[in-house]
Each structure stands twice: as C-alpha cells, then as structure tokens.
Structure 1
C-alpha cells in the first residue's frame, strides 16, 4: 500500500438499484486527493466497525472518458469505467470471488487542484442471476490545514 497523507474531505453518496429495490449509502471521510501530471487521484481508507483499517480504495480519473477504481484489503477489485464499453471485473473477498461485467453509462468530472465533484453511473451484471445500476456521487475538497492544525494521517 502506497503511503499517502490525507489532505482532503471526501463525501460519497451511492445508490444501487436492483430487483425493484434501491439501496442508498453515504460516507464522509478524510482522503488523499491530488492532481498529477495527467490525472486526478482520490484515495481513502475503508474501516471496520471498530475503526480499524481493512482496505483502501483508489479512484484515478484519467479523463471524462476513463476512470479506474482499485480496491485492496478485505475486498479486492480493479474496475475500469469507460462510457459505452463493457469490462470484466473479478471481485474477491475471503469468502470467494465473483465475476461480473461492468458497463459504464456516465462519467461526469468537474475537478480542479482544490477538489470538485465526480459522478459515475454503471451497470453490474452477474450472469442471469443479478444485475444492478449503481450511481456514485463524490465531492472532494482540500482540508484547510490552518483550521485543522496541520494534523494529517498516513494511509
């Protein structure tokens, strides 16, 4: 795991629609955010109920047409999001792995060096047994180190 210093606040609003049901989840956390030479990177820790780190998610925004999501830790997956294209995904946990197909319908990025928003919408298909439409709205903004006393955490 690459050491990164949390320098931003990240809000994630996720909606999953499957089998006539809608699940909504919200997460507010600290994160690493940086504009690199040709892309933006957002990384955040995934915590268990006791607050221990159990994984990390890294979202790389290469363009309005290409985003990758790398999950490591308790669940592992590499997701490639490109509107209009379908990519295979292997989602691995300690209970086993699952093969899925991911078809992205929307990437809307409005990011600057100071933060911004990212919206992703994609369909996950697990053969004939399950399919879902997921929408993820991210809002990221750099921490004001003057207000936080400059305290940072490595992830």
Structure 2
C-alpha cells in the first residue's frame, strides 16, 4: 500500500479574560481512517511553541476528539461535546490539571481529507480560563 502525503493546516484562536492569541500551522503529516475513526498525526513547529513534539488527534465522529502530544510537552486531552474531562498539561513551570469541555465538534472528514472544527473551554478549578477554537484542514497532496 502506498503512503499518501497530506497537508495539515491548523488555525487556532485562544481567548482569555483580557487577550486573544492566534496561531497558524501548515505542515505535512499522516491521515487515515480505521474502524470508522480518523487519525491525524503531525510534528509541531516553533509557530505553536511546541517545536519537535508530535501531536496525534483521534476523531470519533462528531462526538469526541482525543489529543495526544509527546515530546518535551506531554499532553493527553479528551474533548467531548457536553462532557467535562480532566487533563494534565505540561508547562515550563510544571504540570497543570485542566478541565476541558467542548460545545462544538464538527467533523467533515472523509477518506481524502476534509475539515474538523472544535470549540472548547479550558478551566482551572471550574473557573473558565480560555475559550479555544481550532479549524483543522486536511488535504491530500
């Protein structure tokens, strides 16, 4: 079987109490479907602040997305519509325990790529910290 090359473009917005940050990343990575679940894997860059780390997304329909980042910054997040999950997030200052709850997961992926949109809130001790939006486009090259 021939390996396919995919261009993965991520546009993210993070809105906190007094600030808004935007990040964009375009990179090549892997994309495939197994047992009705989509998998996206790519290497982070300096643009995201996680240069050298590898991020994998597991997309289970419009219901749940699991994000695993390995490398210098190890993270495991479960983003599920309507349900709050707890996650550990590694920073330069140590691990932080965050709550994550999604209010939007739009999965428009197919076997050749497509788009995934997420909107979720991160909280500490049930106090909202940031609202985050990710638009992820996957295109077969």
TM-score of the superposition, structure 2-length normalised? 0.88
**Alignment partner, residue 36 of structure 2:** 38
Aligned partners of 1:129 and 1:103: how far apart in 2?
12
Change (3 A) 1:6 1:26: farther
In structure 2, do the counterparts of structure 1 residues 97 and 32 end up closer, same or farther at CA, with 3 Å as the change threshold?
same
2:92 and 2:19 mapped to 1: Cα distance?
Answer: 27
Task: Please say if residues 121 and 128 of structure 2, whose CA atoms lie closer than 8 Å, have aligned partners that are also in contact.
Answer: no
* 1:60 and 2:58 aligned: yes
RMSD over aligned Cα atoms: 1.9
SS across alignment from 1:54: coil
Preserved CA contact (<8 Å) 1:99 1:126: yes
Q: Which runs of 5+ in 1 are unaligned?
A: 144-155
Q: Does 1:71 align with 2:69?
A: yes
TM-score, normalising length: structure 1 = 0.81
Distance in 1 of aligned mates of 2:108 and 2:89:
28
Give runs of ≥4 in structure 1 deviating > 4 Å. Answer: none
Q: How does 1:1-155 map to 2 (within 5 A)?
A: 7-48=5-46, 54-93=52-91, 95-127=93-125, 131-143=129-141
* 1:37, distance to aligned residue in structure 2 (A): 2.2
